Structure 1
C-alpha cells in the first residue's frame, strides 16, 4: 500500500504545480506527518521535489523535470486518456483515474482534445454495468430476467465472461446455464440483475461472441429497401454500411444483408419507424409481414 501511495504522489506532483500536504493526506487517508515521510522517501529516490512556503504552499517537482515521452506519442496518450476517462465515468473506477493521471504526465501540455467517446448507459440499469464487471472479475454467477427477440420473458443464470459496447448498446457474453450454451445478452433487455454467491471456473472451450456473430453472416439474406428523400438521414443512421444507390429524384435504394430477416423483429421495427419514407422491395415475404404489422397497429386505433 505504501509503494502504491508513493507512486501516486509522484504522479500528482508531476501533474500539479503545487499541492499541499494536507490535500495529499486527505486524499490518501493518512496523517500529514506520513505525507512528509513519503516526500522524504521520494526525494531519496532521486526525484527533485521542491517545497514551497506560505499560505498556498506545498510540494511540487522542479521546473523542467519531465517523464520520458519516448514510449508513447502525444496522439497515443491523448487517445488513451479519452477512452480511459469514459470508462472511469461509466464504472466509477478509481484505478482508471490513477492511470489517467500517470498518462497526463507524458502528454502535451494544454493540448486540445480531438477525440471524444460517449459510452451511453441510459438504456441500462445504473447498477448493471458495475455488478457485471465485478461478477466477471470475481467469476460469480449472475441471475436476471431477460426479454428475448420474441418478447418471451425468462429467468437466466449466466457465467459472465466479457462486456461489449457495440452498435450503441452494452452486451454481456457468457455461458447461459439455462440454455446450456454461450450466449450474448443485451443489457437493455435485462431485468432484476442479481449477483449470486456462487462462483464458477471458466471453461477452456469458451467461445467468443464475435466468432458466433461472424458465423451468422454466412446465412444472411439480402433485403432491398427504397428510401424516400424525407427518410434519408434516419436510414443512413441505422444502415450506414448497407450498399447504397442514390437516384435523381433524391431517393435511395439500400441493399442490407440480414440474418433471417423474416424472423428479425428488430429489423421490422426499424423499417416501420421510417413510416411512409421507406418501402421494402425484396423479399416479398418481408413485405407481407410488414403489411400485417401495420394492419394490427391500425386495429388499435379503430373507433369502438
Structure 2
C-alpha cells in the first residue's frame, strides 16, 4: 500500500507545480507526518523533490527533471498515450505503461481523449503475442503447428524476428528452419506454440515481405455486382467498405467491385455464403453458377438430415 501511495505521489508531483502537505495528506487519507516521511523516501530514491515556503507553499519536483512540455504538442501526446496504452494491454507491458504515465505528466489539458484504440483480442491470442515478443527479445527459437494457405498442416521451427499488425491481423516474421528461408505466419493459424530450449545466434537483417492488400482485393479483371438485403447492409459495408455502392428504393444495397484472381474468387464466395439468403451474385453469370454449384455440394452433404 505504501509503495502504491509513493508512486501515485510522484506522478501527482510531476503533474503539478506545487502540492501542499495538507492536500497530499487529505488525498491519501494519512497524517501530514506520514507525508513528510514519504517525501523523504522519494528523495532517497533519487527524485529531486523541493519544498516551497509561504502561504502557497508545499512540495514540487524541480523543472529540469520534468520532460519539456514544448517538445510535444497536445495532439502528439494524446496519440502516443492512445497507442502505448493499447499496446500495453496486449503485451501486459509495464514499461509501456510507465511511459504512458510519464507522457500524462506533460499533457496540457485533462479533456477526455478524442481517439481510442483497442488492439486486444482473445486471452490465448494475447498470451501467444507475449510469448513471441519475449522470444524475439531473448533470441529464443519457437515451434508451432501451422496451417498454410494451401490448408496443409505442418510443424514449424522458427527463429522469430518481428511481429507486425496489419489488416486487423497479427503476423510473425521469422526464419523458418523447416523451409530454410524467411516466412510470414498468421498468428490465427498457429497452434501449440512453445519456446525451444536453444537460443539462436544468427543475425536477421531481412525485412518481412509486406503483404499487399491486392491479394484480398478484387480489381482489374472481372466486374462483379452483388445485391444485399436491407437486413444485411451493415455487414456488407463492413466487408466491402471501399467498393462502389448504391442504395436501392426497396432498401437493398448494390455493391460493384472487380475480381482479379482465383484467390479473390474463393474468398468472395466464402463471404457471400456467410450471408445465407441475404446476399445474391447478380453478375457475372459464371460466378453465379459457381456459387450455385457450391450450394448444391453443401446441400448433398446435408441430404440425410
| TM tier, smaller | 0.7 to 0.9
Q: 1:248 to 1:15 in 2, by over 3 A?
A: same
More moved, 84-93 vs 118-127: 118-127
The alignment of Structure 1 onto Structure 2 pairs a total of residues equal to 276
Unaligned runs of 5+ in 1: 1-6, 23-31, 52-58
2:3 is matched with none
Q: Matched residues in 2 for 1:257 and 1:155: separation?
A: 36
The question of 1:232 aligning with 2:233 is answered: yes
Please give the alpha-carbon distance, in whole angstroms, between the structure 2 residues aligned to 1:117 and 1:13: 28
User: Could you say what secondary structure the match of 2:84 adopts?
Assistant: helix
Partner of residue 213, structure 1? 212
1:35 to 29, 41, 45: 41
TM-score, scaled relative to structure 2: 0.74
User: Aligned in 2, Cα 1:115/1:262: closer, same or farther, shift over 3 Å?
Assistant: closer
Rounded to whole Å, the distance in 2 between the matches of 1:256 and 1:185 is 28
| Whole-angstrom distance in 2 between the partners of 1:295 and 1:218 | 27
Match of 1:254 in 2: 255
| Conservation of the 8 A alpha-carbon contact between 1:217 and 1:259 | no
Q: Find the counterpart in structure 2 of residue 121 from structure 1.
A: 121
Whether contact under 8 Å (2:157, 2:176) holds in the other structure is yes
- Looking at structure 2, the residues matched to 161 and 218 of structure 1 have their Cα atoms a distance apart, in angstroms, of 28
Report the equivalent of 1:165. 165
Q: TM-score of the superposition, structure 1-length normalised?
A: 0.74
Structure 1 stretch displaced more, 282-291 or 268-277: 282-291
Equivalent pair of 1:261/1:267 in contact (CA under 8 Å)? no
Change (3 A) 1:125 1:112: closer
Paired residues of 2:90 and 2:126 also in contact (CA < 8 A): no
The alpha carbon displacement at 1:144 in A equals 0.6
1:242 aligned onto 2:248: no
Shift of 1:86: 0.9
- Is residue 2:296 matched to residue 1:290? no
Give the deviation of 1:232 after TM superposition. 1.5
